[in-house]
Amino acid sequence: ATMVQTYLKETNPSEVHKVGVIAANPSQSKHLETATMVVYGIECDFCNLRAQEVYTEDSRIPTTVFGTPLEDAQRRDFCCNALFWNLRTRHIEDWTGRGLQDLLQGKILVTPLDPFTTFYDDPLRVLRAIRFAIRFDFALDKNLEEASASKKIQDALMLKVSRERVGKELDGMLCGKGAKPHLALLTIHRLGLSECVFPLPTNVEIQGETVPDPWGRASALVQKIPAALEGFQTPDGKTPLDTKMFAMAVFLLPFRSQSYKDRKSKNHSIVEYMIKDGIKFKNKDVAGMLLLMEYVDKFVDLLKKSEMSRLEAGLLVRATKDLWVTCLLVAMIQNDTETKAQEVYNRIMEMNLDLCWKDRPLLDGRAVIQLLGLPKGPIVSTYLAEQVRWTLENPNGTKEECRVHLQAFKEQVEVSCKKRSSPNDRVNDDDGNRPHKKAQ
């Protein structure tokens, strides 16, 4: 890097930039010190050739020494990633003997060494192979697939690779340029890697409904995605489909009813563990996935109904917010009702409920407290929720009409509370409906 910088000073002083240094950091798979510099507007890295990498049994981080171009090429993950550009001769050097062929003709991923050796040294390369293959439409070499599906490599993947790195590779398969989420998940399943990517918690008792062959069921559901997306149209929608969350939610549907207790006897869903601990996705993704799993069955119920009320649809859209389209499509896959899902979507759009979760209330919390003379506390949320319900049922209602309704609702609540004091008149309202008198 210093020599290049000196050359630039002599030939084009205006293009001279500082040389940065990225220190070696084995814990982050950064094995050699790297210099960085901008050369004619292009960010360039400068590092030595690597060879003689020695791995331990329980780590994917090797001890590395400098080597020759051939040795460096052989330690790469795939032949097409082991090509060199010789600055002096201005020629590409293919030290593996097949990198160019794999890249330009065969479009296939092949490891420079035996794939068992390459993958056992660094098991993360198994997931990288899938990511490259899906993103760039490459085939996977037969021997590479056999190594990926072997128990030895999969055990090494679980032991050596951090869950953060697994999650990062998965994220690269599910979103971004060239991503094809359903193909990535199907390939993961085909190679027997599902539980390596989405592990189950250990040393706990899993509770809830168990689906026979859950990963087989997951694969069958994901296979429905292309046809479902092709037949579903959102011409005027402002809420986009989250393709990453959609594919993952469909894949994990067989586990949505399962849970376990942690050491403090707190209940957690299996899907939460898979996303939060298994692949270390962001809290936003964890919360979004839990939301999809919580409401998918309610969207399924909506799809089964012959008629849909504005209130019912609006409450579901408000609950799932910017994931409502995603949740609707997950329910469509679960219930196999493509045509009905399109009808529900169109109806929601016709009722202008697409962004109803962003609507500001006619009366804020302070105004409700003043209007009804309420004490501060949880009781206020009851009336704010009732205001939401009334607004959904009366989209053209005025602020004054809302005040009148809330005052009447308060009277109804007070009457209902008095009635509850009598065992004969007590009404079970656990379903969340408005308070009401017992039928005579």
Mean pLDDT throughout 147-170?
A: 95
3-state SS class at 35 = strand
For residue range 185-213, what is the model confidence (pLDDT) as tens digits?
999 999 999 999 999 999 999 999 999 99
Mean pLDDT throughout 402-417?
A: 93
Cα(13)–Cα(36) distance, integer angstroms: 18
Cα(32)–Cα(61) distance, integer angstroms: 12
Query: What pLDDT sits at residue 430?
Result: 45
Backbone angles phi, psi at 436, to 5 degrees: -150, 160
Query: What pLDDT sits at residue 64?
Result: 63
pLDDT bucket at 433, cuts 50 / 70 / 90 = low
For residue range 270-286, what is the model confidence (pLDDT) as tens digits?
999 999 999 999 999 99
Q: Which residue carries 């408000």 as its tokens?
A: 318
Query: What pLDDT sits at residue 168?
Result: 96
Mean pLDDT throughout 380-409?
A: 96
Report the run of H or E that residue 220 belongs to, with start and end.
helix 214-222
For residue range 373-390, what is the model confidence (pLDDT) as tens digits?
999 999 999 999 999 999
For residue range 322-357, what is the model confidence (pLDDT) as tens digits?
999 999 999 999 988 777 899 999 999 999 999 999
Mean pLDDT throughout 129-151?
A: 97
pLDDT bucket at 432, cuts 50 / 70 / 90 = very low
> Considering only 232-241, 251-260, 367-376, 403-412, which range has the smallest mean pLDDT?
232-241
For residue range 16-53, what is the model confidence (pLDDT) as tens digits?
888 988 775 544 444 567 899 998 888 888 888 876 65
Report the run of H or E that residue 63 belongs to, with start and end.
strand 63-66
pLDDT bucket at 14, cuts 50 / 70 / 90 = confident
Q: Which residue has the higher pLDDT, 2 or 99?
A: 99
Cα(236)–Cα(349) distance, integer angstroms: 8
> Considering only 16-25, 138-147, 249-258, 279-288, which range has the smallest mean pLDDT?
16-25
Q: What is the number of residues in the chain?
A: 440
Quote the DSSP letter at residue 198: S
Mean pLDDT throughout 132-160?
A: 96
What residue type is 81 in one-letter code? N
Query: What pLDDT sits at residue 29?
Result: 44
Query: What pLDDT sits at residue 235?
Result: 79
Model-level pTM? 0.84
Query: What pLDDT sits at residue 299?
Result: 96
For residues 272 and 289, the answer to whether their CB atoms sit within 8 Å is yes
pLDDT score of 105 more than 50: yes
pLDDT bucket at 431, cuts 50 / 70 / 90 = very low
Taking each helix axis as running N to C, give the angle between helix 365-372 and helix 379-393, from 0 to 180 degrees, rounded to the nearest 10: 100
Backbone angles phi, psi at 220, to 5 degrees: -65, -40
In DSSP terms, which residues pair with 267 in a beta bridge? 261
Taking each helix axis as running N to C, give the angle between helix 310-320 and helix 283-304, from 0 to 180 degrees, rounded to the nearest 10: 160
Q: Which residue has the higher pLDDT, 157 or 238?
A: 157
Mean pLDDT throughout 63-92?
A: 88
Query: What pLDDT sits at residue 58?
Result: 61
Which tokens is 166 given?
Answer: 């697994």
Which tokens is 31 given?
Answer: 């094995």
3-state SS class at 209 = coil
pLDDT bucket at 429, cuts 50 / 70 / 90 = very low
Q: Quote the distance between the C-alpha of residue 195 and its chain's center.
A: 16
For residue range 226-246, what is the model confidence (pLDDT) as tens digits?
998 988 888 777 889 999 999
What does the mean pLDDT of the chain come to?
89
Query: What pLDDT sits at residue 418?
Result: 81
> Considering only 65-69, 221-225, 341-345, 436-440, which range has the smallest mean pLDDT?
436-440
